[in-house]
Homo-oligomer: A and B are copies of this chain.
Amino acid sequence: MGINHQIKIINERLKKKKLKISIAESCSGGLISYNLTKLPGSSKSFIMGVVCYSNESKIKFLKLKKKKLLKYGAVSIETCKQMCKNLLKISKSNIAVSITGIAGPGGGTVKKPVGLVYIGIASKKKLRSISLFIIKNYQGLTFKKRF
């Protein structure tokens, strides 16, 4: 099942449950927001997207603490969680999603290799995060769970 099909299912569920969503994207650079907003009826669910590629924008728009951001790094589970937690408050959505990772081709290290992606999901009741490896194939991007 490709990423676009998964986004279609998410869009349908959001509409059905009348939930509002916002997305903060670092490594995906707006791809998820674009694929969601192009679907019919998504304007009823989609509040906003932030393409926060730079640390500067993470601090300025997502109100991340500079000290913590530098301590854990932009690509870390701690930063990812904070991104969606803060976005939930700022956007007043029911669900906030954050994505940060090493998209490549450069930027990878032994500890944080190219393909490593953290995804955070926040609601008023829950804050969850998962780490994945992005694998590119002919159907587009697919995700493999890491832990």
Contact = CB atoms under 8 A, between A and B. Distances in A.
A36 to B, nearest CB: 8
Question: How many copies of this kind of chain does the complex include?
Answer: 2
Interface stretch (A46-54, A64-72, A127-135): A46-54
A34 B27 CA distance: 9
Interface residues of A, number: 33
Contact of A31 (B34, B40, B60, B105): B34
List the 9 closest pairs (A to B, CB-CB), nearest first.
A30-B30, A49-B51, A29-B37, A48-B57, A30-B33, A30-B34, A33-B51, A29-B34, A31-B34
Given A33-B51, A40-B106, A49-B50, 18 more contacts: A28-B34, A29-B34, A29-B37, A30-B31, A30-B49, A31-B34, A42-B53, A46-B51, A46-B53, A47-B54, A47-B57, A48-B50, A48-B51, A49-B51, A50-B50, A50-B51, A51-B51, A60-B91
